[in-house]
Structure 1
Amino acid sequence: MKRPMLLVLHRAQSSPGRVARLLQRKGHALDIRRPPLGDALPDTLDGHAGVVIFGGPMSANDPDPWLQAETDWISLPLRERVPFLGICLGAQLLARQLGATVKGRPDGRVEIGYWPIRATRAGAPFGPWPERVYHWHSQGFERTAGMQQLAAGEFFENQAIRYGETAFGLQFHPEVSFQTMNRWAQSAPHKLQAPGAQAWSLQRQQGARHDRAGAAWLSGFLDTWAATGC
């Protein structure tokens, strides 16, 4: 068995979804921790193959002590050069750790549903990228020194970034299955009324069209990502 992957979640009901299933198929055990519920993060990652920090309904700018502590903790995988992947909130916490700004759009537009992304030249080796990916966010992050853009979007520019050799951030949600997408829509229907949020019927149509490509991309991306720590 390969060394475990550390998966950081932010609510009791949160699931690592497709990322967890793929990592297990690839031979990794999972070490799941939830800092808001009192789980401590390790002092070293010598025993882990990588770290994935997932999303949540909170903002990266919130003043909660656990959130600041988690943001500060990200310096550990950066320093030890352990593969790090931030997804949505996780990517925004990485950006905050690196000194970048996290904020919403001035016009209040969000991204919820399947929206297109385009790979940059730097992102080409991590493809083939899906045409559309699943989003659920109202804030995005800016780039700072050392960040390399891998994929861009029309309304939130930075959709995928790399920092150094081993740290990556994704603004979108490749881990989300149809079941999770449905649960999110049912638990927060008011958010589907925001500008930029797709109707649930359109999300289902887009999911049927683009989900398989997203899952295939994620599997290949995780292989490439995990290998950066070798």
Structure 2
Amino acid sequence: MRVNVLQHTPNEGPGSIQDWAHVNYHDFYVYHPYQFGNLPTADETDLLIILGGPMSPNDDLPWIKQERVLIQKLLDQHKPIFGACYGAQQIVKTLGYPITKAPHKEVGWAPVYRQSDAIPGIPEKVVALHWHEEMFTVPDQAQLIFSSDLVKNQGFLLGDNVIGLQFHFEPLIDNVREMAVNDNGYPLDHNGLHQTPAEIIAHGVPDENKQVMFKLLDFITK
């Protein structure tokens, strides 16, 4: 399987998604469309991973619109897609639903709660990393799978092959450090979770996050 990753900022990498690909002997390619403008084709994509970033799907940038053309082709071909944060929003925007400001900016660690039993083996509560102030509308054809205390729409499952999460299961501890030291002003501005960069780093990554990330990817690629 060829796994194609769209990365949108240097400090938000694939983390444990790359570990999952290596464990399963998949070919792993990372694209940086915000910098180079390159995207894979649908034909050379078996699984598309769309990572987070500081931009919004509402931004009027050619490469953002080109990403949605690729997403639509993969949706039409019923290929697996996983989106994190901005990535989840891009999927929703492709489906014609709005991306809006969330009722609370969430930056830091906070629990998300399972809202569906559609994916086996997912705990009722998992502490995840949040790094956003916009949110998606859950498409009519999808189901809500995660919520948090501050933002209801935290995760959706579309069919059996597309998952979008507003938060992050994928970061490993080095990824968390990289996010916190490079985007260290973001957590301090009107953050509903009231966590500093130092507190975010000190929290560490729960062991189960990587396990849940693997289960989600196994589910959409089975």
TM-score scaled by structure 2? 0.90
Give yes or no for contact 1:4–1:49 (8 Å, CA) kept in 2.
Answer: yes
> 1:190 and 2:185 equivalent?
yes
> 1:52 and 2:49 equivalent?
yes
C-alpha separation in 2, matches of 1:202 and 1:41: 36
Give yes or no for contact 1:126–1:224 (8 Å, CA) kept in 2.
Answer: no
Amino acid at match of 1:63: D
State the Cα distance separating 1:11 from its structure 2 match.
3.1
Where does structure 2 lack aligned partners over 5 or more consecutive residues?
none
Match of 1:70 in 2: 67
Work out which of the residue numbers 50, 75, 98 in structure 2 matches 1:101. Answer: 98
C-alpha separation in 1, matches of 2:40 and 2:196: 41
Amino acid at match of 1:61: N
Matched residue SS, 1:182? helix
* 1:33-48 equivalent positions in 2, closer than 5 A: 33-45=31-43, 47-48=44-45
State the Cα distance separating 1:85 from its structure 2 match.
0.6
Match of 1:5 in 2: 3
Residues 129 and 201 (structure 1), Cα distance of their counterparts in 2 relative to 1, 3 Å cut: farther
State the Cα distance separating 1:95 from its structure 2 match.
0.7
Match of 1:225 in 2: 220
C-alpha separation in 2, matches of 1:43 and 1:203: 37
Match of 1:206 in 2: 203
C-alpha separation in 2, matches of 1:12 and 1:23: 20
Partner deviation per Cα, 1:100-121 (whole Å, 9 max, x = no partner): 1111135xx3111111111113
> 1:181 and 2:168 equivalent?
no
Work out which of the residue numbers 71, 85, 89 in structure 2 matches 1:88. Answer: 85
Partner deviation per Cα, 1:110-169 (whole Å, 9 max, x = no partner): 111111111113445251355211111111111222011111122221111011221110
Amino acid at match of 1:70: E
Give yes or no for contact 1:130–1:214 (8 Å, CA) kept in 2.
Answer: no
TM-score scaled by structure 1? 0.87
Residues 93 and 36 (structure 1), Cα distance of their counterparts in 2 relative to 1, 3 Å cut: same
Residues 151 and 73 (structure 1), Cα distance of their counterparts in 2 relative to 1, 3 Å cut: same
Amino acid at match of 1:225: I
Identity of aligned residues (%): 25
Amino acid at match of 1:71: R
Amino acid at match of 1:40: N
State the Cα distance separating 1:180 from its structure 2 match.
1.6
Amino acid at match of 1:111: E
Give yes or no for contact 2:4–2:47 (8 Å, CA) kept in 1.
Answer: yes
Match of 1:29 in 2: 27
Matched residue SS, 2:185? helix
